[in-house]
Amino acid sequence: MFFLGLILRNALRHKLRSLLTLLGLVVAILAFGLISTVVGAWYANSEAASNARLVSRNAISLAFSLPISYKQKVRAVEGVKDVSYANWFGGIYKDPKNFFPQFAIDPESYLRIYRDYLLPEDDLRNFIRDRKGCVVGRRLADTYGFKVGDTVTLKGTIFPGDWELVVRGIYDGREAKTDTAQLFFHWDLLNETMKQKTPRRANYVGVYVVEIANPENAASISQNIDALFKNSAWETLTETEQAFQLGFVSMIEAIVVAIRFMSYVVIVIILAVMANTMAMTARERLSEYATLKALGFSPRFVAALIFGESLTLAAIGAVLGILLTFPAARGFSSLTGTLFPTMQVSDDTVVRQVISAVIVGLLAAALPAWRAARVRIVDGLRSIG
């Protein structure tokens, strides 16, 4: 207790210096956590992906469709448990900056496969019955104030026209990382409209979502599905849902890597600041450390004092920085709206914040502790700091 008390009092001895160092630590840990959270948000869809789901798309490009007639053939492939389909709608809600994913789906099969979207039974029934109905995620509803019964008008870009949809339900995510910033409506509505307006675009889907019985067979089932349509006008590319989601991230991978790199640069910067603080502090207290050694305390004790002080500052900075990361992430999420599917500070991010703080605390103290432990007592006693 004496030792801990000495460390704590030493850490707060120079109040202004300690305060400024702590401020730097808090900002660095907060920035590291926030950047990690944003990077994590980019990977959220891939992390939420099930290893029992495959996605089949047009082998040439996602921009091309697949015939609806493929569904039964895919369903018949050995190992396939269920099949659904979806079209990316890409409409505008009031303003182009109000981005959120919109999909035209087959409600029954799609929501059967995506069991992470939790919808009350009544709402699901109402949605299925109403061809002009839609369901929205909780985060989307909170962002734009959607309530059951509201009419949401989407201005089509890929599928031109004004699309009026009635909110029939609001779904919640089974887990924190589940994307609840999406809107789903009936593929049948889309298809019927296409039959009237642009018949050549009717009866096509964007992707097939395939649920398989055994995830270990993902590779072989994917190959079997693709083999069905090889050399056809619409060849498929089937992959795991995770690989499919990661494909989107890879388009901006350079940016993500750069952003992640910046988060580590922030830690390196605060390490330099802390190292300077500890070097200054240890230099000023050299005569105290020499006195302790003269009294009989070991070099290890002296080094432990310095490490203890550095780790105390790092710990305080880390705790504050971590605590502030949560409201900062919420603030960032509210600023970006539904741009990211989810903005959760993960346990992994918190762990990395803690590890970063510990590493900063240890490395910043390493050289000053080594020097103080090695200083000759007579030289240290002569030191005037």
Partner 1 sequence: MDETAGGRAEEADAPIAQPGAPIISIRRVVKNYMRGGQTVEVLMGISLDIARGEFVALMGPSGSGKSTLLNLIAGIDKPTTGELLIDGEDITRLTESELAQWRAEKVGFIFQFYNLMPVLSALENVELPLLLTGLSRRERRERAELALEMVNLADRMDHTPNELSGGQQQRVAIARAIVTDPTILVADEPTGDLDRTSASEVLGMLQRLNRDLGATIVMVTHDARAAGAAQVIMHLEKGVLDSREVTVQIKH
Instruction: Compute the least distance from the CB of residue 3 to partner 1, in Å.
Output: 8
Nearer to partner 1, 12 or 315 (CB): 12
Q: Which residues contact 10 (CB under 8 A, 6 or more apart)?
A: 281, 285, 305, 309
Q: Residue 380 CB, nearest distance to partner 1 (Å)? A: 9
Q: Smaller CB distance to partner 1: residue 287 or 338?
A: 287
Please report the beta strands in the chain, taking only residues with DSSP state E, as ranges in sequence order: 53-58, 66-67, 80-88, 102-105, 117-118, 133-137, 151-156, 161-173, 183-186, 204-205, 207-212, 236-240
Q: Which amino acid is at 87?
A: N
For the CB of residue 275, give the shortest distance to partner 1 in the complex, in Å: 22
Q: Which of 307, 81, 361 is nearest to 212 (CA)?
A: 81
Binding site for partner 1 (CB under 8 A): 1-3, 6, 9-10, 13, 287-288, 291-298, 376-378, 381
| Residue whose entry in the numeric block shows the structure tokens 């039964």 | 72
**Smallest gap from residue 277 Cβ to partner 1 (A):** 17
Nearer to partner 1, 220 or 291 (CB): 291
Q: Amino acid identity, residue 49?
A: A
103-106, Cβ contacts within 8 angstroms, sequence gap of 24 or more:
103/182, 103/183, 103/184, 103/185, 104/184, 104/185, 104/186, 104/187, 104/189, 104/190, 104/191, 105/184, 105/185, 105/186, 105/187, 106/186, 106/187, 106/188
Q: C-beta of 9: minimal distance to partner 1 in Å?
A: 4
Measured over the CA atoms of residue 147, residue 148, residue 149 and residue 154, the dihedral's sign is positive
Closest approach of partner 1 to the CB of residue 20, in Å: 19
Cβ proximity to partner 1: between 1 and 16 the closer is 1
| Least distance between partner 1 and beta carbon 371 (Å) | 16
For the chain, the straight-line distance linking the first and the last C-alpha, in angstroms and rounded, comes to: 27
* Interatomic CA distance for residues 108 and 246, integer angstroms: 26
C-beta of 9 vs 129, nearer to partner 1:
9
Q: Retrieve residue 167's tokens.
A: 């909110």
Q: Which is nearer to partner 1, 358 or 381 (CB)?
A: 381
Closest to partner 1 by CB, 9 vs 330, is: 9
Least distance in angstroms from the C-beta of 286 to partner 1:
11
Among 350, 357, 358, which Cα is nearest to 323's? 350
In sequence order, the 6+-apart residues with CB closer than 8 A to the CB of 332 are 34, 37, 38, 343
Task: Give the nearer residue to partner 1 in terms of CB position, either 91 or 380.
Answer: 380
Q: Which two tokens stand for residue 150?
A: 């509201």
